[in-house]
Amino acid sequence: MNDPGLIRLVNSVIWPGFNGTSLPPWLEAALQENLAGVVYFSQNIDDDDPGQIRRLSANIRALNPHALIGSDEEGGNVTRLQSVRGSDFPGAAALGVVDDTGSTAEVGRALAHLARAAGINVVISPVADVNTNPDNPVIGVRSFGSDTALVSRHVAAMVRGIQSQRVAACVKHFPGHGDTSSDSHVSLPRVELSLAEMERDHLPPFRAAVEAGVMAVMSAHIVVPDLGEEPATLNRTALNLLRNSGFGSLIITDALDMAAVRSTVGSGPGAVMALQAGADLLCVGNPSNLGPKGGTSVDEDDYLEVRNALLNALASGALNTARLEESAARIKQCAAWTRTDAEPFEGGTDWTRLAGKAINTEPLDNAVNLRQVHVLDARAQRNMAAGPQTDVFAAAFAAHIDVHQLHVGSPESVATAVAELTITADTAVLVLTDNLSTGGTQLTAARETLRLVPDAVVVNAGVAPADSGLRVIHTHGASRATAAALADRLLGRR
């Protein structure tokens, strides 16, 4: 258990998160003992200190020059580096609506430039899932859309854009999380599709990414019955599908602290099973998430659970050193690739204008004289994939006029909120939603608001439903750029 050589070998395939904005002692020690690297989450970023994250990355590489430093930088709803103010970049769904692969590649270049400036060399993006289930609780507008060909061409463009900056792209979530009705952060989803249906509708974007030269693919904690009852991350048959497509680089697990693994086999045994199945890099996860310890999880404990499970597996023969050495070599090859020269980056794209191309609406009738907007926010207040976020829409309007914001849910809360409002000729009422599925509370709240305030404007930041029966402005996401574009449009500024 304490063999330094085995500890270095085991560490070489572990990719943990950690708490705080500086390196805790356990992490410093692990990096010196050949830890593969770290994953940044929002709690690791001090937004009040612009140089903090780059110094942190430099400290990590001083301890391990080969470290892979990763971050979920998708643009749109999911960002770590810009979680306080919202992403500068329109997200995948908006880019899919615009359907200009050149713009998508430019977003990829800009995301990677932002990451590289922070010392990050793996961007865990783009989402290659085809969102064929409109009620998908975890993918939604993180996907380029529901059309396989569209998603495929934009995934390839994003990969090329990201990797032009010598930042490794990691497409996710293989073999496709787009048709699920549950979230693998909180349960183990099943995709009730045949392998032939998966081959037709969900695997092509991953193959497009492989053809574009993607450096990494992240596996999904989902069960596809035709591939067996183990989730894909722990499933040799599933991961062989990826290897047999010609992909020879890194397979990275989705976070092992997610309930789909943690609450079924456990993070430690899951790590062993993932390596046995052919995964290379074990993403331990975000220690700030609620888990079996009720939010009191200690980052070092999460790392040790995985490390010790691998050491025990080596001692028992369940794993052999050759399997870990194979993965460690791929990890080092990826790290070496990121140290080569990036293409020149010019920048200067107007991201708000680009995001606005996905929003089809006219200015409000009273836009010129508008002095205040009442925002009734019917959205769910937390998404496990996105993490804690600022309210980009309120902030975008507050840059120009007064904003009065209330959270609503039930029809009764809508009626109470509307009764508090003073509505005059120089005010407007907006209802913010991100899930207008039939029978849902947000659709009910929007309808009740319109019954009480017929001139209210309904804004949907989620997937556009086939027909909500309402006049709705669809923004296709909730980036800072998208919110600014909406505010500019409704206020007649563009």
Residue 155 CA to residue 266 CA, distance in Å, equals: 32
**Measured CA distances, 137 to 39, 133, 440 (Å):** 24, 9, 13
Residue 238 CA to residue 227 CA, distance in Å, equals: 6
CB 30 within 8 A of CB 11: yes
376 secondary structure, DSSP code: E
Report residue 162 CA to chain centroid gap: 15
Report residue 310 CA to chain centroid gap: 28
CB 259 within 8 A of CB 185: yes
- The strands making up 427-433's β-sheet, listed across from edge to edge, are 402-407, 372-377, 427-433, 457-460, 472-474
Among residues 220, 211, 272, the alpha carbon closest in space to that of 246 is found at: 211
- Annotated catalytic residue, options 154, 173, 177, 185: 185
Helix (H) or strand (E) holding 47: none
Residue 9 CA to residue 95 CA, distance in Å, equals: 41
- Annotated catalytic residue, options 254, 257, 302, 377: 254
Among residues 459, 370, 377, the alpha carbon closest in space to that of 423 is found at: 370
CB 385 within 8 A of CB 180: no
DSSP line for 76-132: TTB-STTTTT--SS--HHHHHHHT-HHHHHHHHHHHHHHHHHTT--EE---B-----
Among residues 247, 242, 176, the alpha carbon closest in space to that of 211 is found at: 247
φ and ψ at 308, to 5 degrees?
-70, -35
Residue 161 CA to residue 212 CA, distance in Å, equals: 10
Tokens standing for 138?
A: 């975890």
Residue 9 CA to residue 46 CA, distance in Å, equals: 32
Q: Does 474 participate in catalysis according to the annotation?
A: no
Among residues 400, 409, 312, the alpha carbon closest in space to that of 363 is found at: 400
Half-sphere exposure of 245 (CA within 13 A, CB side): 25
Among residues 143, 125, 126, the alpha carbon closest in space to that of 134 is found at: 143
Tokens standing for 279?
A: 């995964």
Quick check: helix, strand or coil at residue 402?
strand
Residue 305 CA to residue 45 CA, distance in Å, equals: 25
Q: Does 254 participate in catalysis according to the annotation?
A: yes
Query: β-strands 282-285, 250-252: how paired?
Result: unpaired
Please list the active-site residues: 185, 254
